[in-house]
Structure 1
């Protein structure tokens, strides 16, 4: 039988390009070198083809009767010289006797010696995958893909098609159809697209092999990896159930067992807050969380982890996270630079969740080719809370209990073995301590600022806050000396609601809630607040203070609410109109039936108003 040889140095073809095998990466992947451009790529073996000059063997089951007759006839012609030394005189006599060319005899012998099957001598089918375009147009498509699509500008497919069309028109060629260009894009390797459009880091994260054992992950909660992702699904709002946006997910995984120990789901952009809440959710017990969403199952993960492993994103390098982890005896460790494979465990979990999400209504899929004509906005049905419940169900009752290939058992079983031991292995840690003061823990992992306390209270981002608990610290200094600087106090902030901040009293050693000084101000998120400030700056407003910011916010909110009411009213009008049309059509049908009844019948058991529809 014919084989595609995968030895180092063998010639292969990849995406129509001649390549040479450089090295074997693993059982499924090969590193190849493009002959013309000296570019190295790591590709799946299934993406490789025989070299251009290779003629594939015809399989027996693919031959029709006519082709089989041709194959057997050719075999009979060369049978006498198979596995024997031949000379030109002998070949010429066979060719003359059978009225074929000498080169045909040599070609059939070569094929049979390679495959050792009669079917290999059947006529080779034409390769219709070769491009039938004008070679010049073919080159224009190739150049456009390289210069327009495969670069950091991330131009769309429509822009690529327009650029191709412009170049073809300029050179007096007929422009190819859009579907032709899209087929070319589909033939590109995902690694090549990621590397060209998003950089080496993104490509390596997905295609570089993950190290088999993460150093130091020798017991449960020894190392927990944390990362963010935008989930591939459109959610609807809780009130009007209109399409909203894609949520952000921050997730934490125990590397030893592959158990998901916690997550945080929101529409807020990734940042210190989301990271902090995810870590807190990972540390705390989960019974209240599961009860809130009515999820049945067990999630026996809690306790302070030894090391938190994160990438080098800005939100992981803030002073809050550094101090909080240090305070609770946790080591904050960053991935080695240019070594994204060290975050492969959490990346793989994110990929597993993404595959499941692609079956949900409103999914955006991972790319435009998968999405096709699917209207994600129109099909969206789940709210944020409904999706969080779905995610909890998947994690607890599916992911945690099914076998994980890397550890050859389920994550839950591996975690239990590490904590409790098994018939073969002794326990590695025992049950971890439970953090009792959840309120304190949550405050400690919230973003904070340091401020002095004045007679008017405390000023943070143009907004004043005050509570009587601050009174004794007004103009407080670092010590009793008048020459010393004023004392700085810690105020925790929640970007989701800036209507209150949390003051840490250094004497009592506890937190107190501090509201707006002006109680007429509405609750607002940090992102809404900054949006209003940007708007006021854009219209060149001067002396931007809290009064102007909140009054502008209220006006914008009123306009938004009015537009929602108008939209809802119009939607109800359409529904009512459709209902009226249906009632009219039904009444017309009923009148036709009534005409056939000669007299009314009396029903003494009839209930008044029973058949009236109420809106």
Structure 2
């Protein structure tokens, strides 16, 4: 029996899982523990009076040898306040002070006069609640009317209502009382109604601090911004406008890892170029100027923090980063404070670098008709790129922060010595450059690949077509395009499990160093030139001649008493464009007007039954 009891005793304590405690920063106000206020929370004059009471109680405690009675206290008080009877407290008041002090376990705050609780706590005016609520709904509007406007509405509705009341009219409070009621309302709901939830959250929501990284490249932030600067074209010296800067910053050291500067709006291309620049070692010999220091910041980062821009949701970026072992962390929409380091760096660029460059304040320079580059001396684009390198490498990286807590390049070197980051081999760099290209899908033909009206083919690709038969599904291939160089593409070959570099078949040198953006602009200009050069009138006459010829053949067929040759009908079907997506008969509508057009100019084209049979199918 004792064994059974001993066995049961092993389960007397509760084995249920305990709910983990909520971290202190996430505890709601209703559940938070508040400590009682102390003497320092009161105004100085109240603190001084409380200390005087404490000194009085302490003195009497030392002088009094018996109980706290009138017989004992009055002689002591008379002696203390001799000649100053106006400030002498009644003995009962002193007893009450001592009792409050003892009941509070010696808290000096218990001796403070509760003046903050004095005054009327109840509304002096009642009966206007409905009208105040109606006026409040007017005030809580996205148009954000003034308090005076809401108060005027409040007075007007009550005045109209009182017109029908004989006895017991509704009282109207003063503007000061109305304004005080508004100010006493909870501020967050008012901010939501008048400014929207996003602004209200910015003003009142809790913003948690970041968990600081413990090593370099553990957390890296990327973002875009238009620079507050107008630059000049290097050759023409005309203003180009404000360029976009894509920047990557290491959070641990605050060092700049890489950047990309362009006039094209932020896109996957600008993000990819900045990432490649950040990961690869920096060669400063081709910058064009001599720098005092090196730029040793590079390597594969662990987590890339991005916002919710469309360029960062690109499948190409996601796939490339996964292939390289980089984790992407997306920040919530419209919350830049969750990515503070790169945002702060943009502010530093405007404050410490751009302020010294002419053109910083020329926000409306493009609107000035009398603009002269030599007069305003705005910097050329290439010079800005060189000086931006100098500012990053020789100034920002070498200088301490505003609180003198760290020097970015020293912090980087310290982190590098303790935990050096992963670096890419030469082959890995080549592969990463291909991975960061724009991904697309194209059909493999006997002439290679066609991309943006350019053809890509090679002997190696021809050998691939000879040795590996393709099906309807496998004939579509994944290609990677470098948007800055269309002279070649990379094609993924499933059977070989690798990317093959395929050059453009252009022999004129047009694609050497040609960017995708330049090519698209060139194509657009070329189309406009073709449209302007096209003889629309001549083409219209030719099409009408063909139409008239079809009509003439139809009339001859209807009048003929002999059997029409099949070849003649085929000609008419060809000219009438009989197809699955076009017409289904060669008969013309009777309502169509007759055209008197000389058809001799198209007669020769009708003589050959197989005039389009020389087209080869693939």
Q: TM-score interval w.r.t. the shorter chain?
A: 0.3 to 0.5
Computing the radius of gyration over CA atoms, which structure comes out larger, 1 or 2? 2
What TM-score comes out, normalization by structure 2 length? 0.47
What TM-score comes out, normalization by structure 1 length? 0.48
